[in-house]
Amino acid sequence: MSGSVVRARRHSYGDLLHRTARRSPGKVAIVDGDVRWTFAEFDAAVNRTAHALAARGLGKGDRLALVSHNCRQYAVLVFATAKLGAVLVPVNFMLNADEIGYIVGHSGASGIVAEDVLVPTAEKALAIAGVRGGIRGVIGDAVDGWETVDAWAAEGDASAPDVPVGDDDPLRLMYTSGTESRPKGVMLTSRSLISQYVSCIVDGEMSDDDVEAHALPMYHCAQLDCFFSVDVYLGATSVILPGPDPALLLETIEREKVTKLFCPPTVWISLLRHPDFDTRDLSSLRKGYYGASPMPVEVLRELQGRLPDVRLWNFYGQTEMAPLATILRPDEQLARAGGAGRAAINVETMLVDDDGNPVAAGEIGEIVHRSPHAALGYYRDEEKTEEAFRDGWFHSGDLGIMTEDGYLSVVDRKKDMIKTGGENVASREVEETVYELDGVAEVAVFGIAHPHWIEAVTAVVVPKAGAVLGVDDVHAHARERLAPYKRPKYVVIAESLPKNPSGKILKRELRERHASLAQG
């Protein structure tokens, strides 16, 4: 195929903004505090930033780490790197320097952009990763030795960079925790992302007249790719908030006439419980989305009672699916409460046994997907890629039950992933950290149901014979070594752990035994 034909057919992530800016140049694209950008202004800021990054040595295939709360500069960098064919590495801003340093080092990032308050942590992370020189960008106030992203976006060439970007060129490395102690880098491409956007638009009934508040972290592909990027693709308006503060979120819905909102159940609960909920005008809100964990039935009923005009969707998936896999629609919420719905339009989902054979309806099996949403695999980890994508399906590691007509319910997780407050926590990572504490013989970490966090990280610790070890010792150790959301909320000192005949710790039994901790 000739180069001219390839260029004429290109459909990469960066093209989405360019096309929307040509279609709706004067429409409001971004609202960030007092700043309001049209799509034409947004596209120009992105192009200038892309040229500035290129001038500083960032090229196709190079990795750039980004650690920041949500802001318009975050949005600019997402699209600017994509237009260069560079690979953006969004980093969880709650991680410590060691954790960020691992991601920077593993990804091979040649530079980093950090929010001003996070620059000290970013500098330590770069030192840990052994990165010297390269791009240093700061979002917010100027910092010695760091260039401001605002300066990159404000002046220079506003034309689109002339870089050929293919459908399956990696554009994003999303680091996700698994059962291993170290996170894996999921490689996403334009093909993965745009296929997923189509599923979101069709099954999530999204449109160009949406006004959406983006309060959950954009380092998560849920907020970034199920919602923000879809809004850019469609030409909808995005109101960017630094975080899900309930008072600010409620005030924003009223002020900006927000019509669409995504929150994990924990944040929907925080909105319902806030004193401003009944005093703010929320009548503009029409579409509500949740994910990360099932919505408690009582909360679902309360939401439908207090926001009767809001239709709700449950999005279920994994980062490796960019991330949407299945959807529970508005008319199915109560009848199939707690369920994950059916496969999205561009997804095929089934359940298999340990040998990869399909299981019958009503039987437990591993949830697997086949879809153009799927990632290219894990960066620098062929073995885990082959394991996850064996037999031509992506193996999620989640266990589920499916009805005859294809409705999925997630019943457990092979990977022992704890989903707390919308964040994923790998139990093994926490266990390995606790094991570093002197006097620990054994530890099991798991999640228990919690009225606010949905799941609370819980650790049962068995001390070594003769060791003096208390609950406070474990909490203090975790505070020094783990990001706040990963730390156990409950610690129990025990004489032993329940095990099966082969020596495997029975975490299901531990969950049942300690379920009352969150009720006390």
Q: pLDDT tens across 419-430, in order?
A: 888 887 878 788
Mean pLDDT of the chain: 94
In terms of DSSP H, where are the helices of 368-470?
382-388, 427-435
DSSP string, 58-106: --TT-EEEEE--S-HHHHHHHHHHHHHT-EEEEE-TTS-HHHHHHHHHH
For 22-51, what is the mean pLDDT?
Answer: 98
pLDDT tens-place string over residues 244-269? 999 999 999 999 999 999 998 888 98
> Which of 313, 213, 214 minimizes the C-alpha distance to 259?
213
Count Cβ atoms within 10 A of the Cβ of residue 500 and give its class: 0-12 exposed, 13-18 middle, 19 or more buried. exposed
* Cβ atoms of 212 and 84 closer than 8 Å: no
Q: At 458, is the secondary structure helix, strand, or coil?
A: strand
For the cut 90, the answer to whether the pLDDT of residue 73 exceeds it is: yes
CA diameter of the chain: 75
- Give the confidence band of 186 by pLDDT, cuts at 50, 70, 90: very high
Question: What CA–CA distance (Å, rounded) separates 7 from 480?
Answer: 51
For 477-483, what is the mean pLDDT?
Answer: 95
pLDDT tens-place string over residues 328-342? 999 999 999 889 999
Comparing 501 with 30, the larger pLDDT belongs to: 30
Question: What CA–CA distance (Å, rounded) separates 279 from 119?
Answer: 39
- CA 9 and chain centroid, separation: 30
Residues with Cβ within 8 Å of 99's Cβ and at least 6 positions away in sequence, in order, are: 92, 483
* Cβ atoms of 119 and 143 closer than 8 Å: yes
For tokens 């037999």, the residue is: 391
pLDDT tens-place string over residues 447-470? 999 988 989 999 999 998 899 999
**Other beta carbons within 10 Å of 405:** 7
Q: Which two tokens stand for residue 485?
A: 């959301």
For 87-97, what is the mean pLDDT?
Answer: 95
Within 13 Å, how many C-alpha atoms sit on residue 381's CB side? 19
pLDDT tens-place string over residues 10-29? 999 999 999 999 999 999 99
* Cβ atoms of 344 and 324 closer than 8 Å: yes
**What kind and span of H or E run contains 402?**
strand 394-402
pLDDT tens-place string over residues 113-128? 999 999 999 999 999 9
DSSP 8-state class, residue 129: H
* Cβ atoms of 166 and 141 closer than 8 Å: no
pLDDT tens-place string over residues 344-395? 999 999 999 989 999 999 998 999 999 999 999 999 999 999 999 999 999 9
Residue 232 main-chain phi, psi, to 5 deg: -65, -45
Residues with Cβ within 8 Å of 125's Cβ and at least 6 positions away in sequence, in order, are: 97, 98, 100, 101, 104, 112
Question: What CA–CA distance (Å, rounded) separates 428 from 511?
Answer: 16
Residues with Cβ within 8 Å of 116's Cβ and at least 6 positions away in sequence, in order, are: 138, 139, 140, 141, 143
Residues with Cβ within 8 Å of 304's Cβ and at least 6 positions away in sequence, in order, are: 310, 312, 333, 334
Measured N-to-C along each axis, helices 72-84 and 39-55 cross at an angle, to the nearest 10 degrees, of: 60
Question: What CA–CA distance (Å, rounded) separates 285 from 222?
Answer: 20
DSSP 8-state class, residue 447: E
For the cut 80, the answer to whether the pLDDT of residue 180 exceeds it is: no
pLDDT tens-place string over residues 132-178? 999 999 999 999 999 999 999 999 999 999 999 999 999 999 998 64
Q: Report the predicted TM-score, pTM, of the whole model to 2 decimal places.
A: 0.85
* Cβ atoms of 341 and 328 closer than 8 Å: yes
Q: In what order do the strands lie in the sheet with 408-413?
A: 348-352, 364-370, 394-402, 408-413
> Which of 393, 344, 386, 390 minimizes the C-alpha distance to 367?
393
For tokens 């909102």, the residue is: 261
Q: At 516, is the secondary structure helix, strand, or coil?
A: helix
* Cβ atoms of 101 and 91 closer than 8 Å: no
* pLDDT recorded at residue 415: 62
- Give the confidence band of 4 by pLDDT, cuts at 50, 70, 90: confident
* pLDDT recorded at residue 502: 47
3-state SS of 31-68 is EECCEEEEHHHHHHHHHHHHHHHHHCCCCCCCEEEEEC
Residues with Cβ within 8 Å of 197's Cβ and at least 6 positions away in sequence, in order, are: 225, 229, 230, 233
Q: At 217, is the secondary structure helix, strand, or coil?
A: coil
Structural domains of the chain in order of their starting residue, each with its CATH number: 417-519 (3.30.300.30)
Count Cβ atoms within 10 A of the Cβ of residue 208 and give its class: 0-12 exposed, 13-18 middle, 19 or more buried. middle
Within 13 Å, how many C-alpha atoms sit on residue 519's CB side? 7
**Other beta carbons within 10 Å of 439:** 15
* pLDDT recorded at residue 113: 98
Percent of the chain with pLDDT over 90: 82
* pLDDT recorded at residue 520: 63
Comparing 21 with 291, the larger pLDDT belongs to: 21
- CA 89 and chain centroid, separation: 12
